[in-house]
Structure 1
């Protein structure tokens, strides 16, 4: 059986990557030309896949550039971040483990690294430091890529995913100032910083009072257009020996409002149901499967909401625009105007809703369909 051409839940491969040509070119040009870049968009819009694609392209074409991608999602402390940062920089600087050991000992003046090699030195290499020493000499690690790049006559591109997670560390403000102070002087290192919490990322890079303000170019990732999705879906079906009419293929991005994660997921379920040719009923059945598969996530999402936050979502999903009007606040039991403002901010910051030109909307289109059925008994099928 052919493998599904649609991917979600992981960074997509080249085959499943669609459109983003302009974004990919801009990011490629920025990073190879030494322009620090911050990538901002709501979660599940394809930031990590875009960075992964561009990094692969750079690795193929730019032999003097060494790339590093670090996912900070599970990095729980400042010390762990610094150790991982140092290890990945050293590993990227050479393909020889003997040179890793030399670099680990040569480029630290105050810090004393502990180096461990396992059975397979190319995979089991680890680096650690005395944590008290790390707190006092962070600059040695923050400057390590520039020092290594200068000595080896190479360029580094360092991509930090879930960058906003650093803000949860107790002494982040001090670390943030030090990172900016050192990284802005680097000539042979370019940084790509991105994350899934749009409002935190926007505050870090767009707030004039924050150290990383104007650190580089900010790319606001937009949705892939419906037309591009339709072309991708039709071609992907065809590559695997199946067909889907454009009219039916259009239903998929329209139902999912061009949301990258969900378009891929709905297309995948539709593809699975298709023998030779997709039918409209397959898309609707696939939508039911998608909602069912994600229901535990949606239930968890509403469980953490306060009663007034839940009521505010009810007002939004019903198309209410004047959330602080007396009639709306009474109808949905939203509390006071101050409650509305506070809850709105919380839901904005958590990327649950966003403001549009005409009002408000859910950022997650499938969650919106589930919510309507759960609380208003509205069927999400035509």
Structure 2
């Protein structure tokens, strides 16, 4: 979630260094990827606006990923320039571009291995548009709901999204409401926090600078935030159904003994120790899913993408899988519990690195959420409740991670601290 191993910082960087291990890939694994969700045709979207008092902009925020191999260097350059995600100190403006250039060829190869780019934009745009169709019927008083996607490091960038809002008639003296809807279900200061900081920056640049506590400029966009939703019933149900579907592929007599390995992106321990709520919220998601499954199977929470010499949250997914396989417990289902769609962490790291190294037919992965209608209905339910309550954010957003700058969107200064 926070740091992706293919973006590893070379050894020339001091204590923040990261690295990856090489991988030998087979044509069998490549064939498996060609049959993956990356090739799934996205159903067409038609907007069904039934509103009377709208519009309401619904903005999905995520890290993003390069849609083509040609976008990889720009993606890496933005990623390594983000001090919220990868703090490199005062040398960041110099080290960031250098690292991006050195990493680009390797990362381009990895994206080529999963079909030529990340599918995260395709799925994010589809999920947001389908959610808005449901919201138009569920909340006609705030319709039409207009779908937007704002990625932190890849197109469409936050700046692009904000300019599109202005072109579409929001702000610039016309007012209008917008909801920043994080697509990281579990909050981290380095992911959701970074995306919100970027949104705050572009709001100030494009709609006028303002000091905390100052009244909103007349006719500016009125923002609110859906900042976390780790145990929402729609999210839990979608994960549970995908796990149940994969369990059915095992012989009935073995089914209850299949180990469920929930895998989330790890965090460096110095991030965890500053009070970041992400580990606790990921654990809450896992527990909620297992409650829904009535604890039918043994399970573990493990963490993927650890890189470099620093201490990270563990145990690591790849090490955990190999340990179970060595013990003869080779019936395992990997569940990407912190991701809302397929991207490089699922299609490359889990499908190619982890599953190929395990080399066991019993090691499988649960389907990603992607176009799951249960999940999309859950998104609509979350947004509907948020609009109904008319709250700027969750109560939990009043707490900030220690040693993280405080910034806030207009109208939320007294409560938002990310």
TM-score normalised according to structure 1 size: 0.30
Structure with bigger gyration radius: 1
